Amino acid sequence: MTESGCPSNRVLCSLTDLTDASISLSHLSLVSQEEMREMREQPIDPQAEQEIINSIQEVYYSNDSFDMVQHELEKLPPELNLQELEEYRDKLKRQQAAVSKKVADLILEKQPSYVKELERVTSLQTNLQLAAVICTNARRQLSISKEDFTEASLGLLANQRRRHLLTGLLKSLRTIKTLSGSYLRFLFLVCVSVLTFKHYSCISELNSKLQDTLEQIEEQLDVALSKTCKHFDVSHYTRVQLAYTLLEKTQTAMDQLHMHFTQAIHNTVFQVVLGYVELCAGNADTKFQKMQYKDLCTHITQDSYVPCLSDLCKALWEVMLSYHRTMQWHEEQDKEEAPPTTGAADTEEAAVDHSYVKKKLEHGLTRIWQEVQLKVKAYLLGTDMSNFKYDDFIVVLDVISRLMQVGEEFCGSKSELLQESIKRQSVNYFKNYHRTRLEELRMFLENETWELCPVKSNFNIAQLHEFKFMGQSRSPSVSPSRQVLSSQDQVLSSQDQEVLSLFQHFSQEGNPFERHIDNKDEETEDVLASNGYESDELEKCVYQDYDSDSDVPDELKQDYVDEQTGDVPLKSASRETLRSRKKSDYSLNKGSNAPILTNTTLNVIRLVGKYIQMMNILKPIAFDVIHCVSQLFDYYLYAVYTFFGRNDMYESSGPGLISSRLRTTLNRIQESLIQMSLGEGSASVHGGPGEDRKEKVPSPHLSQLVVLTASETLYGLAQRVVATESLVFLAEQFEFLQSHLDTMMPAAKKPFLQQFYSQTVSTASELRKPIYWVVAAKALDYEQMLLLMAGVKWDIREIMSQHNVYVDVLLKEFEEFNKRLGDVSRHVRVPLPVSNVLWEHCIRLANRTLVEGYGNVKKCSNEGRALMQLDFQQFLMKLEKLTDMRPIPDKDFVETYIKAYYLTENDMEQFIKNHREYSMKQLANLVNVCLGSHINKKARQKLLAAIDDIDRPKR
């Protein structure tokens, strides 16, 4: 085809020419005007011009990246000659001019062709656009025609043809249904006839066809038999067994049945787990379908673990229930009258079949349950549960506990495989869980400001969600799975619940593994109450609440707790206790008698409830759980003591503040639980390396927000009361739980629990003494008393009727203390035991200050001793009006010391031996003051020697 005959070629040529032209123009632009002028002035000689072009070196045509400047510079000789360089430059200019002129001539020559081809290309583009519009419209019209005419007509014809075929099929199906009832029996009769007349050739062929038909029937019966493994249907199973009986293959059917149950278990668990794995994987990857079941279980995610386990047990329950109902069917058949037989041989054969079926079914119970255990064990051990949420892990325990109950009812098995698997996971989980909870408890304690958490007065531990399980069983030994199975069980009497097994209760409908979902989220009420400490109206409302709730239903009295933490109430006091509290505490605070506790206390109690719930479900780790429960209490007690009671200066001055039992307990906690940092003395030795150190927790530190140095707040008395009394309240809750824990504790480990209660829980109230001693030691200015007493003259010669000023000052201090105690009680209730301890400490310190002051006297007469007695009696008389404490603490301590002044030498010596409560300084001062009145120097030396003998063993 010529160039003129092909439009596309013409367009291509035109575009090529246009490109060449543009390139040429760009080169022309590089030529200076001067050079163009020189080129025009030169004569035009085509042959000379071509020779110049031919003289250009080939390297200039090599590629676009060729650097001609660099090339020419490299060609320069070592020694440059100006004339030669100018000549060479002129040569290059001539070559450049010749090339530029040649390019310009070519452009001018092709210009008319370029313009002509460009016009043809523009015209072709316009024609193509018009053709595209025409084609689009034509196709649209064709599509409309197809839809309106062709498809509609053909669709009607196809539907009519399908209707005609389905009508014929329906007639055939009705005929088959009519014949199916009698076909099987007819077939067996024909088989018997065939065996009789098989010597006929036609009958032999019929026999062969009938055998093929029987094999097909057996295959269909086997399929029908396998369907009973998941959803047992009495009528369906009866027909299948009847068919096998007619085939005289009852024993074969039973062998096949057990194989189908085993296969059903495998297929069921595989499909359930596979469904969750593929769902969580989020893609259509088929690699999971080719995995082994054990490997597949390792791909279950933490979020889908509990739902998958629940569905797994539900599916396995359906299989076991079908087997159970299969056994029931055969037992009922055995009880019924035997069907009529033709002879003794048939009867004996039937008896053998019944015996075989019975033994096979009984043996299959253990075999099937073992298969179930293996599948669930593989699932349990396929995932590390150490980081599960507590609620999820409790559900796992509850589901497995329920499954073990199913196994016990199914075949009397103790489910050793499941117990071993769940115990392994539980120990692993609980160690990690407890370590985390202890760290959280330390964080709570270090951020606790020891403010009162106001709860309602009928705060009850049984109302906490974590302790609900205790109210559901009459005995802690009853497994949660044997407690209320569902809401329907509520209508059954306790006797009915004990009689009905899971297989009886859920025989027709329902599933025992659906119950835990119902109780997982429970609505709770708000137990946060107004403090009621500043208003008499609030106080009145609180007291009315105590006395007017007799007509309120019990379920409405169960109040719940904190909105932020979701916590709920604790052990409530009896109405008599509440009334006694009103009388005892009313003088100090105008408010509610609700328990004194903090959010941290609530968290500890909730945590104890979770621990006991876990222990209730899984008894093999009961001791481990109780040991961890004791550590929670130990750490709380140690923290309260460390924050508020540990003060070496006051401990040394306080007589018997910390009992030997409490000190032993604190040392034990520090050595076994507290991880002491380096530099904390000898205690760091007990930190222990390795695994032992992992079980320990760093010592907590008091929050900087808690100020214990302000005198106007009685040195943080409110915070001390909340901390100490919350610990006492926590100890009361542990006492309440003791019987339950004792029931769960293994017999060999019960001494540990008894020791924990006798040496730790019972010491909680003993912390009041050292904690409140710190307040009492700072609340009154005892040093001022000593200074005032030092200024009193005691060697007077006449009986005084007026007491000294220091007594009034001391009483003024007590009045101020009483006022500040009342101020504190308006914000935090100060229980009677607390106020008694505070008053006792203050009075003891005051009395010991008086003895110390009297012991500093250098000279004293009988009248001076009488003045001491007058001062002390005045102090007692005014003090008794401020406090209800009777008798006054250490009253005899002061009076005995004052009266000792009048003792003779022999009595004084006996006094020194019997009264070790006085310091050596006080006893020596007593002897020195009496010198000259009724004790001589010799007697003085003897008595001082006796004092020194008493002091020597202490050195």
Same domain, 175 and 302: no
Q: Which tens digit of pLDDT belongs to each residue from 238-273?
A: 888 888 888 777 888 788 888 888 888 899 989 899
Q: Max Cα separation, the chain?
A: 162
Domain-embedded: residue 804:
yes
The backbone torsions φ and ψ at residue 528, rounded to the nearest 5 degrees and listed phi first, read: -65, 125
Instruction: Give the Cα separation of 882 and 151 in Å (integer).
Output: 109
Least confident of 357-366, 536-545, 890-899: 536-545
Residue pLDDT, tens place only, 416-437:
888 888 888 888 888 888 999 9
Q: Which residues of 10-27 are buried (b: 16+ CB within 10 A; e: fewer)?
A: bbebbeebbeebeebeee
Burial class (CB in 10 A: 0-12, 13-18, 19+), 901: buried
**Distance separating alpha carbons of residues 868 and 898, to the nearest angstrom:** 7
The CA distance from 299 to 289, in Å, is: 12
Consecutive H or E run containing 675:
strand 674-675
Does residue 27 form part of some domain?
no
pTM over 0.85: no
Residues 230 and 158 in one domain: no
Give the tens place of pLDDT for each residue, 555-590. 334 433 333 334 443 343 444 444 444 344 434 444
Do both 312 and 385 map to the same domain? yes
The whole-number average pLDDT for the span 846-856 is 92
- Report residue 874 as tokens: 């005045």
Domain end point (choices 368, 389, 413): 413
The span from the CA of 274 to the CA of 289, in Å, is 7
pLDDT digits (tens, 9 = 90+) for 656-711: 578 889 999 999 999 999 987 654 544 333 444 444 556 789 999 999 998 888 88
* Measured distance between the N- and C-terminal CA atoms of the chain, rounded to whole angstroms: 133
Neighbours of 124 (CB within 10 A): 14
- What's the CA gap between 427 and 622, in Å, rounded? 10
pLDDT for the residue numbered 6: 43
Residue 697, phi then psi, degrees to nearest 5? -125, 140
Listed residues 124, 158, 180: the one ending a domain: 180
Structural domain contains residue 44: yes
Considering the domain boundaries, does residue 307 fall inside one? Answer: yes
% of the chain residues with pLDDT over 90: 24
Of 413, 432, 461, the position where a domain reaches its end is 413
> Which of the 8 DSSP states describes residue 200?
S
Q: Residue 273: in which H helix or E strand, if any? A: helix 250-281
Same domain as 219, residue 73 = no
Q: Would you list the DSSP string of 355-372?
A: HHHHHHHHHHHHHHHHHH
Beta-strand relationship, 697-698 and 674-675: parallel
Residues 116 and 64 grouped into a single domain: yes
What's the chain's average pLDDT?
Answer: 77
Across 535-539, 875-879, 900-904, least confident range: 535-539
Q: What pLDDT does 344 receive?
A: 54
Burial of 631 (0-12, 13-18, 19+ CB in 10 A): buried
Q: What are phi and psi of 402, to 5 degrees?
A: -70, -35
For residues 147 and 222, membership in a common domain is answered with no
| Residues 672/677/681/686 CA torsion (nearest 10 deg) | 30
Q: Domain check: are 156 and 274 in the same one? A: no
In this structure, the answer to whether residues 370 and 228 fall within a common structural domain is yes
- Can you name the residues that pair with 935 across neighbouring β-strands? 931
Q: pLDDT category, 811, cuts 50, 70, 90?
A: very high
Q: Cα(67)–Cα(314) distance, rounded to whole angstroms?
A: 83
The stretch 455-477 carries a mean pLDDT of 70
Of the candidates 481, 506, 711, 736, the one whose C-alpha atom is nearest the C-alpha of residue 613 is 481
Residue 640: pLDDT band with limits 50, 70, 90: very high
DSSP letters, 767-820, are GHHHHHHHHHHHHS-HHHHHHHHHTS----SS--SS--HHHHHHHHHHHHHHHH
Q: What is the DSSP letter of 16?
A: H
Domain count, the chain: 3
Give per-residue burial for 509-528: e unless 16+ CB within 10 Å, then b. eebbbebbeebeeeebeebe
CB of 847 closer than 8 Å to CB of 891: yes
Helices and strands: H and E segment counts in the chain: 36, 2
Describe the crossing of helices 234-247 and 302-335 by its angle, rounded to 10 degrees.
60
Same domain, 221 and 170: no
SS3 125: helix
Provide the 3-class DSSP secondary structure of residue 308: helix
Q: Mean pLDDT, to the nearest integer, of 376-394?
A: 88
- CB of 846 within 8 A of CB of 888? no
Taking the CB of residue 669, how many other CB atoms lie within 10 A of it?
Answer: 20
* Mean pLDDT (whole number) for 181-200: 55
Residue type at 210 in one-letter notation: L
Q: Do residue 400 and residue 259 come from a single domain?
A: yes
Q: What is the pLDDT of residues 500-537, one digit of tens each?
A: 677 777 766 677 887 544 444 444 444 455 443 333 33
Residue 643 makes CB contacts below 8 A (sequence gap 6+) with: 445, 700, 702, 706, 723
User: Would you put residue 81 in left (φ > 0), alpha (ψ -120 to 50) or beta?
Assistant: beta
Lookup: tokens for 124? 């072709």
Structural domain harbouring 407: 211-335+352-413
Write out the DSSP string of 37-83: HHHHHS---HHHHHHHHHTS-GGGGS-TT--HHHHHHHHS-SS--HH
Q: Is residue 43 part of a domain?
A: yes
Write down the H helix ranges in 548-621.
575-585, 599-617
- State the pLDDT at residue 178: 63
Q: What is the DSSP letter of 642?
A: I
And the tokens for 468? 């609900």
Give yes or no for a contact between 439 and 697, defined as CB atoms under 8 angstroms apart: yes
Q: Are residues 169 and 219 in the same domain?
A: no
Q: Identify whether 831 is part of a domain.
A: yes
Residue 208 in tokens: 């062969």
Mean pLDDT of 622-629: 90
Query: pLDDT grade, residue 953 (50/70/90)?
Result: low
Q: How far is CA 911 from CA 426, 721, 920, in A?
A: 65, 40, 13
Cα 394 to the center of its chain, rounded Å: 10
Q: CB–CB of 315/268 below 8 Å?
A: yes
Residue 553: cis peptide before it, omega within 30 degrees of 0: no
* 713 assigned to some structural domain: no
Residue 415 has pLDDT above 60, yes or no: yes
Give the pLDDT confidence of 137-170 residue by residue, as tens digits: 999 888 888 888 887 888 888 888 889 899 988 8
What is the CA 168 to chain-centroid distance, rounded? 65
| In the predicted structure, residue 485 carries a pLDDT above the cut 90 | no
Let me know: does 400 contact 376? Beta carbons within 8 Å: yes
Helix (H) or strand (E) holding 739, with range, is helix 717-744
Instruction: Give yes or no: residues 176 and 241 share one domain.
Output: no
Is residue 371 in some structural domain?
yes
**Structural contact between residues 785 and 806, judged by C-beta atoms closer than 8 angstroms:** yes
